[in-house]
Amino acid sequence: MQPHSGSRIFGLDLMRAVAIIIVMICHSDDLIDAFWSTGLGESGLDGVDLFFVLSGYLIGGILLRLCLSTDLPWWLKLADFWQRRWLRTLPNYFLFLAVNLVMLYAGLSTGILNVNVLAYFVFLQNFWVPLDLFFWESWSLAVEEWFYLLFPLLLFAVIGLVKGVRIGFLVAVLVMIIIPTCLRPGAVELIDTPFLLSVWVRKVVIYRLDTIGFGVLIAWLAHYWPRMLYARRIELFVIGLCALVLAIMLRTGINLTYMGTWFFTISGGGMALMLPALASWHRTGKWGNGVVFLSKISYALYLVHMPVRLLMIPLERDKSMVLTALIYVSYWAISIALATIVYRYWERPFMALRDPLSARIRRLNSSS
């Protein structure tokens, strides 16, 4: 049940597919709100947090294996980890940063174009304060990229201090969970609307690193207590689901203190507790191919769907129910088609460079 980067695990593919479906539904309610509303966006069920927890679980397993391996010095382990992460994430990010800049310059989307746009090139658009100029979906990518950078540095530093991977890893991940949790109450004190809460707390890097940390913590538990987690996976899933439902039920538009503090802790922790059961689900079933396909293109789909939505919003005005439904179906179809193209001809070729670079890093170590 330990997280690994080899063969695909259907339960994790399902989690990723569900996450992108939730995100796309929440972001497209305005295309159909003249006739229908899913209400998913107001429910508090957050597909992005599912991505965070899953990402933490996967990179936690990768980093644990790197820390325990003895074939490379720590600085080459970091280099290998970062090149594999960045070849996975940065090509798509910068491609769609360019797409969003072109759309903004051409007047095809709303936003602000000024010198502060440069912050987007180094993921500072929402590190401690939100610029919120354009490319709004990039906030979650900045959270992940900063975690990929900061956590490995902290991890190797702590391991060096305590002289052990097991305790050092646990201490490092607890730091990444505790610090954002302690920072959020102070940030919420100045917030008086749900919109400001979303912009100034939910989408700010320093307040959200803990959600990824929950996934990393489960990866640590899965490595050192795999039998216990496997034996209790169903109970943990039920507890996690109940925690998620409770977090959503306690969420109201006027309880901003809870929404900006413990909601993230309870919901993120609940999602993380579902991971042991999902990570042990290997059978795909009849509909498995579709889930795996959606999981593979989910990153490209996350970046594609917002430009598609922005282009379709003007088409939606004063339309009949039938035309509105047609526009909504087109939003999904075009987004999936474009994401498939991006995945096959842009994202995957960059990912194919990772193994050769890893081999070069190992040869560098052998020759030194």
Q: Calculate ∠ Cα 304-309-312, nearest 5°.
A: 130
pLDDT at 123: 98
Range of the domain at 110: 10-20+37-282
Of the ranges 88-92, 111-115, 232-236, which one carries the lowest mean pLDDT score? Answer: 111-115
pLDDT at 364: 83
Q: Is residue 102 part of a domain?
A: yes
Q: Is residue 267 part of a domain?
A: yes
Structure tokens at 9: 């695990």
Q: Alpha carbon of 298 to those of 70, 224, 339, 342, 343: distances in Å? A: 34, 30, 8, 11, 9
% residues pLDDT > 90 (the chain): 79
Specify the amino acid at residue 255: N
Q: Is residue 275 part of a domain?
A: yes
Q: Is residue 3 part of a domain?
A: no
Task: Give me the number of domains the chain comprises.
Answer: 1
Q: Average of pLDDT values for 26-34?
A: 82
Q: Average of pLDDT values for 149-167?
A: 96
% residues pLDDT > 70 (the chain): 96
* 329 pLDDT more than 80: yes
Q: Is residue 45 part of a domain?
A: yes
Structure tokens at 40: 């998913």
* 336 pLDDT more than 60: yes
In 3D space, the residue among 88, 112, 91, 90 whose CA is nearest the CA of residue 101 turns out to be: 112
Structure tokens at 134: 């354009």
Q: Average of pLDDT values for 268-289?
A: 91
* 34 pLDDT more than 70: no
Phi, psi of 293 (to 5 degrees): -60, -45
* 3 pLDDT more than 70: no
Q: Is residue 30 part of a domain?
A: no
Reported confidence tier of residue 253, pLDDT bands at 50, 70, 90: low
Q: Is residue 223 part of a domain?
A: yes
pLDDT at 321: 85
Q: Is residue 244 part of a domain?
A: yes
Q: Residue 320, Cβ neighbours under 10 Å: how many?
A: 10
pLDDT at 91: 99
Q: Residue 136, Cβ neighbours under 10 Å: how many?
A: 19
- More confident call, 79 vs 283: 79
pLDDT at 30: 81
pLDDT at 210: 98
